[in-house]
Amino acid sequence: MARLATLVRDRRLTRRIEQAQIYGWIVRKRLRAHLDGRLRRSRREPRQPIYLQPAHAVWQLGPRHLVVVGDSLAAGIGDPVPGLSLVGWADRLALALRSRSSAMDYTNLAVKGLTTSQIAARQLPLAQALAPDLIILSAGGNDLLARRWDPDAFRHAYAALLTGLLATGATVFTTSWHNLPLAVPMPTALAQRYSQRLAEAGAIVRAVSEALGAVCVDFWALPELLDARCYSADGTHPNARGYLCVAQILARVLAQHVGLPLDPSSLYHPAETYPAPAPRRTLVDRLPAYLRVGARHQEVLA
């Protein structure tokens, strides 16, 4: 009887294990289908950026002085692409604005590797001294990719920096991030951590911008930026094609919110042509960069 009871228990246990495996397989399949569907919809359906708080300044010919504040994404760090010059989005936008008003001054204070508090310490006094009427802030990447991500500290530092920029009286645009792991293949653990931090940081930028009265351009899940061909070999920075996409998005923002339409062709240099499709980089191509990232617990956005 004892042996029979043991056999029955073993069969029941085996049946439960099989049921759990089947259930787990179904859950994973449904989750994968849900995520794939979201990605297909985000790529198929054009989504406009979210603009928070309309800008109040309206220029007839363009701003008098454009100042860009931020880190490597604002400085234009990345890889070249055949047919395009390696020019950051800020330089392209300034080129287009100068096509309307050649007298416009342009200053890019961005430096790679700086956190938000470091940007406030080094670039805020310079930006205030320049007394611009248009400021674009792109900061926070090095905060969310540091060894320890502290959302509260980032919120405090970002609010202090944005408050100082708004004190100049200029119209201030801020930028959030896009969901990079949807575009660039990377190890699952890194992708999950990266996506979560990007979402948290983006929510903070949107909330602070809305509260203080800046114009926030939300890049999250924009189809233009969900193309792996828009990114450099490090898997983090845009390449020349990606920076062109960002410049085109910001040009649309200026047209919609400050009445300043820009000719799309003015974002190109005279010798440039529309770039040919670049080869897609696989996870194997990017693996050395991600191994270096994991070894030091510090992302390649610097």
Q: Give the Cα separation of 144 and 220 in Å (integer).
A: 15
Give 190's contacts (C-beta < 8 A, 6+ positions apart). 290, 293, 294
Amino acid 186: pLDDT: 80
Q: Kindly give the parts of the chain with pLDDT less than 50.
A: 8, 27, 31, 35, 38-56, 276-277, 279, 283-284, 286-302
Residues 6+ apart with CB under 8 A from 295: none
Residue 119 to residue 160: CA distance in whole angstroms: 11
Predicted confidence at residue 228, as pLDDT, reads 84
pLDDT at 6: 58
CA–CA distance, 209 with 276 (Å, rounded to integer)? 37
Per the document, the length of the chain is 302
Q: Are strands 65-70 and 134-138 parallel, antiparallel or unpaired?
A: parallel
Q: Residue 262 and residue 294: Cα distance in Å, rounded?
A: 42
Residue 159: helix, strand or coil by DSSP?
helix
| Distance, CA of 39 to CA of 131 (rounded, Å) | 43
Which residue in 243, 265, 199, 249 sits closest to 91, CA to CA?
A: 243
Q: Are 183 and 281 in contact (CB under 8 A)?
A: no
Lookup result for tokens 């951590």: 193
pLDDT of residue 255: 85
Q: What is the pLDDT of residue 182?
A: 86
Whose tokens are 């590797």? That residue is 113
Q: Give me the pLDDT at residue 233, please.
A: 87
